[in-house]
Amino acid sequence: MNDRNDFICLHCGAPVSSEACGTRHRNHCPHCLHSRHVDMHSGDRACLCRGVMEPIALYQKADGELMLLHRCTVCGMIKANRVAGDDDPEALCKLVPEVGQICS
């Protein structure tokens, strides 16, 4: 880890590289899918909240793109982030209970 945007996940402690497949900005941990409330607009790092954001849902846009919904545990803000190509499939499945049952 030598890029200044690399980080250690606050939730699971895993080291995370800033490079992510399928999205310009790494905005959540690919292992536990948790994020941190640091942006007002994507990548600006202007938010003062800095709370941990938990993944609450997965949804598919009309164009087929998979999006992850996060909710901040401090201020309650809900944000949508694109699913990255290296996100843990099991963690993603757990967000969709019916699919999770099939996978397990």
Q: Which of 48, 62, 63, 104 binds another protein (CB under 8 A)?
A: 48
Half-sphere exposure (Cβ direction) of 62: Cα atoms closer than 13 Å: 0
Pairing, β 66-72 against β 7-8: unpaired
Q: In a 10 Å sphere around its CB, with 0-12 CB exposed, 13-18 middle and 19+ buried, how is residue 96 labelled?
A: middle
Is 46 one of the binding residues for another protein (CB under 8 A)? Answer: yes
Of 6 and 50, CB closest to another protein: 50
Is 41 one of the binding residues for another protein (CB under 8 A)? Answer: yes
CA torsion, ordered 23, 26, 29, 33, to nearest 10 deg:
-40
Of 38 and 66, CB closest to another protein: 38
Q: 3-state class of 70 per DSSP?
A: strand
Is 40 one of the binding residues for another protein (CB under 8 A)? Answer: yes
Of 25 and 94, CB closest to another protein: 25
Is 44 one of the binding residues for another protein (CB under 8 A)? Answer: yes
What residues line the site for another protein (CB under 8 A)?
Answer: 40-41, 44-48, 79-80
